[in-house]
Amino acid sequence: IVRVCVSLCWICSLFFVSVLMKNSLKQPECVTICKTVDKIIGFVLVFLIPTTVIVVLYMRVFVVAVIQARAMRSHIVVVSHMHHVKIMAKKSEIKAARTLGVVIVGFLICVCPYFSATITGQDTLFNASSASVIICLYYFNSCLNPIVYALFYPWFRKSIRLIVTLHILKPRSCDTSVL
């Protein structure tokens, strides 16, 4: 069901954007003016449905992570009382849930100003510089996820370093351990 939801979000968004931009490709010198109906459809297909899918799926992951972390803690308490051994619980589930939360909040912070301005019709009230800031913030979301993962996961930083330094082109690079 996850693949179906994500695939439908991508297909609907791509279809809408391709229909909307069809005239722009035929006459690139013309400015595309969106009608209110286009703005509402765009809001629903490009923002509301994908955001709902993201939040619902990430919340499911978060709930599972919290349940597993609690189960691990209760198991560790029982084992430590029985064997007088202090075992540290892995915090990977909590870390993953926190990362997902940061990704969702970052997405909403980056994308909400754009859609709130366009859906309310306030996009014509902005001057060029504030419109540029809103659009840059909207596009900034695309580079935000790698930054978040780089901050939270050392293996991700090591992987990026291997890619940037072109070590992935060396023979046997597929055997390199990033953990």
Q: What is the pLDDT of residues 25-68, one digit of tens each?
A: 666 555 555 667 777 777 887 788 888 888 888 788 778 777 77
Are the beta carbons of 178 and 162 closer than 8 angstroms?
A: yes
Asked whether residue 89 carries a pLDDT value surpassing 50, the answer given is: no
Asked whether residue 138 carries a pLDDT value surpassing 80, the answer given is: yes
| Single-letter amino acid, residue 101 | G
The pLDDT, as a whole number, for residue 34 is 60
Q: 79 is in which domain, residue-wise?
A: 2-175
The answer to pTM > 0.75 is: no
C-alpha–C-alpha distance, residues 7 and 49, integer Å: 12
Q: How confident is the model at residue 85 (pLDDT cuts 50, 70, 90)?
A: very low
The pLDDT, as a whole number, for residue 75 is 64
- Of 75 and 154, more confident: 154
Could you count the other beta carbons within 10 Å of the beta carbon of residue 64?
A: 13
Token match 């899918």: residue?
53
> H helices then E strands: how many in the chain?
6, 0
Structural domains counted in the chain = 1
- Of 14 and 81, more confident: 14
Residues 6 or more apart whose Cβ sits within 8 Å of residue 111? 47, 51, 138, 141
Q: What distances in angstroms separate CA 72 from CA 61, 65, 67, one per listed residue? A: 16, 10, 9
